[in-house]
Amino acid sequence: MTNFQLFRTIQEVRDWRLNQIVNGHSVGFVPTMGALHEGHLTLVRESLNENDKTVVSIFVNPSQFAPTEDLESYPRTLEADLEQLAGLDCSESIVVFVPTVREMYPSGIPLDVSLQKGAFVTVLGVSEQLEGKFRPQFFRGVATVVCKLFNIVYPNNAYFGSKDIQQTIVVRRMVKDLLIPTNIRVILTCREKSGLAMSSRNQYLSSETKMKASQIYRSLLAAKEVYDTENCTAEDLESAVLETLKEYTNGVKASWNLEYVCVNEYETLDELNSSEKVDKTKPIIVSLAIHVPRATTGTARLIDNIVLGAKSL
């Protein structure tokens, strides 16, 4: 039993939105791919606090997945998602938008970029490094779908998690350059008690791997400790991460594959020169991506980061 409206079509959202303008209601927006957890709910709560109405979209966006990635197996748990939203205080102020792929991509959307035709949004300069290096079509897919959703919802404020820190930078840049009148709010990563960043992909892990995966955040905290106590280089920060993870990433029994650990300037995402002293007047991001074994077969790709030296996000 839910106490909010659920829309499947763009037209329904547009009609509803027009009413909000007429009534002078502010609208917050939380775009998600579903499989909601406490991290998503934190964004929704923030939006409910700061706006008269909140739109939550649930859409597994094909264009941000490479043909080799987990689009098919990505967890889809709509009933449970709706129940979680219904359980929030002020849930009557929520509207849920669950479009189909055809609704969002009326001309179709092949996953193979070379077959794609039509309009896409590319945010140059902040999409190619870090995650973009390993997932080359990811940020084009993200920026495109977020732009489409903003064109439908027309939000005053939109809420994103700092867990996907590069995404927040890409979206902020898109909004600035395309003159989109939406304020982007970045909310701190919500973590399990163990420190593991909450993620829909954690569902792939056994409880034992989940516990071990708390070492990921510990490795970032080790980098923070080095940053806080010493005059350090980017290499020192990376070494602190590598050292903390080595039980799982090195040696014959190690089964985790660390894809990257990297230190970048927060504003520009420029990679820091590994041997130069870190300039503490500018915020930096220490981030990593790591493949850990799934409970079934294969691996789950987890990402995490810590922002150092920033007064606000």
Distance of CA 125 to the CA centre of its chain: 19
Residues 284 and 45: their CA atoms lie apart, in Å, by 28
Question: Whole-number minimum distance, CB 305 to ligand AMP, in Å?
Answer: 11
79: how many CB neighbours lie within 10 A of its CB? 9
> Is the Cβ of residue 141 or residue 293 nearer to ligand AMP in the bound state?
141
Instruction: State how beta strands 183-187 and 257-265 pair.
Output: unpaired
> Treating both helix axes as pointing N-terminal to C-terminal, what angle do 138-153 and 10-22 enclose, rounded to 10 degrees?
50
Residues 102 and 104: their CA atoms lie apart, in Å, by 5
Question: Whole-number minimum distance, CB 94 to ligand AMP, in Å?
Answer: 15
> Is the Cβ of residue 63 or residue 200 nearer to ligand AMP in the bound state?
200
Task: Tell me the Ramachandran region of residue 24: left when phi exceeds 0, alpha when psi lies from -120 to 50, beta otherwise.
Answer: left
207: how many CB neighbours lie within 10 A of its CB? 8
Which residues are at the interface with ligand AMP (CB under 6 A)?
32-33, 39-40, 42-43, 160-161, 163-164, 187, 189-190, 197-200
Are the beta carbons of 83 and 37 closer than 8 angstroms?
Answer: no
Residues 305 and 130: their CA atoms lie apart, in Å, by 11
Residue of this chain nearest to ligand AMP (CB atom):
161
What are the phi and psi torsion angles at 34 (to 5°)? 80, -160
Question: Whole-number minimum distance, CB 252 to ligand AMP, in Å?
Answer: 33
Residues 110 and 131: their CA atoms lie apart, in Å, by 21
The residues that are catalytic are 40
Question: Whole-number minimum distance, CB 13 to ligand AMP, in Å?
Answer: 18
Question: Whole-number minimum distance, CB 275 to ligand AMP, in Å?
Answer: 32
Are the beta carbons of 290 and 245 closer than 8 angstroms?
Answer: yes
Longest alpha-carbon distance in the chain: 65
Question: Whole-number minimum distance, CB 164 to ligand AMP, in Å?
Answer: 4
Residues 127 and 132: their CA atoms lie apart, in Å, by 5
Are the beta carbons of 283 and 307 closer than 8 angstroms?
Answer: yes
What are the phi and psi torsion angles at 58 (to 5°)? -125, 110
Residues 116 and 147: their CA atoms lie apart, in Å, by 17
> Is the Cβ of residue 163 or residue 212 nearer to ligand AMP in the bound state?
163
Question: Whole-number minimum distance, CB 111 to ligand AMP, in Å?
Answer: 17
